[in-house]
């Protein structure tokens, strides 16, 4: 195989090589946004991160003629398989040079590893589940990814498909502008929905952050439970994600809907901190943290990360009420460019609603499957 070998990324040295390969691969790509190395290390920490309590994971590296040329994580997510009554394996953190031999060898190793666990198919990429960065970018290569979205070279889809993987589901991203959205119709729908259903929408209470996260977690588990690919998060895993977001969130962009004290929906938008992370180059020290703090003040873009409503209120227009308040608040705070992502391609109601607001679909991410 021309000196190609796939090896386990074992120990601290192997994990470091696994992490560093991505930074080397994208070194000259101006659109890539290097995440802080410490955050990636924490996410891949199988001893400490709560995701791995219900999942088995192995990390692999591809070496060719002595050089590292690719990486992949093989994932057997027991929580997913239990919830969906299936036996799927997953791959994630996939990166490779433009070499079909390398891509196929990595994906084959991930498939073989998950098959040994009992999996009947390989699906991905998910990093490490659909609750995190997911999908391969297949169009929209002309701009950097927003916060918590993936990015990859344009040659990845061809490599995956030549290996034998096929589309399982597309994840859609829409672009809009908070200052230009036509609000009259949305406001009418929002006002009627709140009045008819007796629901109030308010910003998150940062003084009761732990309590708010717990309430949102319950809605999250209920609102997304029937979505394709949904993986229930443990409360501990959800709390950790909330803690990570706390550093960048703006209270007026995290909204909670209530009826008689019961939480029935929530919406989450985050400033596009990727714009502040890019100048730091993945490092916090010695100057990275100062750069992040400086550029974070200049961020004027925002991403709507999640909007969920419990099933009994799903067709009442309550989603419009969340959008209306998010847009109003974003305008007051001076935000402009806005991404709404990601949304499953089969979520017809949500996609249609976003398009009626004047948003345009501008990026597509694909989750592949290999039987």
Domain ranges of the chain: 4-174, 176-365
pLDDT digits (tens, 9 = 90+) for 287-327: 767 777 767 888 999 999 999 999 998 888 898 899 999 99
Q: What local confidence, expressed as pLDDT, does residue 1 receive?
A: 46
C-beta separation of 92 from 65 below 8 A: no
> Which CATH code for domain 176-365?
3.40.630.30
Q: Which of 306, 210, 284, 303 is nearest to 41 (CA)?
A: 284
The pLDDT value recorded for residue 27 is: 96
| Spans of the chain below 70 pLDDT | 1-2, 286, 288, 294
pLDDT digits (tens, 9 = 90+) for 45-85: 999 999 999 999 999 999 999 899 999 999 999 999 999 99
Longest alpha-carbon distance in the chain: 68
The token pair that represents 56 in the structure block: 């088995």
| Vertex 41 angle, CA 144 and 131, to 5° | 60
The pLDDT, as a whole number, for residue 2 is 58
Would you state the CATH architecture of domain 4-174? 3-Layer(aba) Sandwich (3.40)
For residues 335 and 300, is the Cβ–Cβ distance under 8 A? yes
Structure tokens belonging to residue 269 = 């938008």
Do the domains at 4-174 and 176-365 have one common CATH topology? Answer: yes
Residue 185, pLDDT score: 85
Report the alpha-carbon distance of residue 337 to residue 51 in Å, rounded. 33
What is the distance between the alpha carbons of residues 73 and 112, in angstroms, rounded to a whole number?
A: 12
CA dist 254 and 256 (Å) reads: 7
pLDDT at position 130, please? 96
């Amino acid at each position: 195989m021309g000196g190609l070998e796939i090896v386990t990324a074992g120990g601290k040295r192997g994990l470091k090589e696994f992490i560093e390969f991505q930074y080397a691969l994208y070194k000259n790509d101006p659109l890539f946004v290097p995440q802080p190395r410490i955050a990636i290390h924490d996410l891949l920490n199988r001893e400490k991160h709560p995701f791995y309590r219900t999942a088995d994971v192995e990390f692999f590296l591809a070496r060719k003629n002595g050089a590292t040329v690719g990486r992949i994580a093989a994932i057997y997510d027991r929580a997913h398989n239990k919830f969906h009554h299936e036996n799927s394996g997953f791959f994630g953190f996939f990166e490779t040079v433009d070499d079909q031999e390398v891509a196929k060898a990595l994906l084959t190793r991930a498939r073989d590893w998950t098959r040994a666990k009992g999996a009947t198919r390989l699906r991905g990429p998910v990093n490490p589940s659909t609750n995190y960065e997911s999908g391969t970018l297949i169009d929209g290569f002309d701009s950097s990814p927003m916060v918590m979205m993936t990015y990859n070279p344009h040659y990845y889809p061809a490599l995956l498909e030549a290996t034998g993987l096929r589309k399982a589901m597309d994840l859609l991203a829409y672009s809009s502008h908070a200052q230009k959205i036509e609000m009259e119709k949305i406001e009418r729908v929002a006002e009627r929905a709140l009045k008819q259903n007796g629901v109030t929408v308010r910003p998150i209470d940062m003084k009761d952050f732990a309590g708010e996260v717990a309430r949102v977690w319950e809605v999250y588990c209920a609102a997304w439970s029937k979505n394709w690919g949904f993986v229930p998060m443990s409360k501990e895993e959800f709390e950790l994600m909330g803690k990570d977001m706390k550093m960048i969130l703006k209270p007026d962009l995290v909204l909670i809907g209530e009826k008689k004290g019961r939480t029935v929906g929530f919406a989450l938008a985050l400033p596009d901190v990727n714009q502040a992370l890019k100048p730091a180059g993945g490092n916090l020290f010695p100057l990275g943290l100062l750069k992040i703090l400086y550029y974070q003040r200049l961020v004027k873009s925002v991403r709507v990360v999640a909007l969920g409503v419990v099933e009994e209120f799903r067709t009442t227009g309550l989603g419009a009420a969340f959008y209306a308040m998010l847009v109003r608040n974003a305008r007051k705070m001076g935000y402009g460019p806005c991404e709404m992502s990601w949304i499953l391609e089969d979520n017809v109601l949500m996609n249609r609603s976003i398009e009626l607001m004047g948003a345009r679909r501008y990026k597509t991410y694909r989750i592949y499957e290999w039987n």
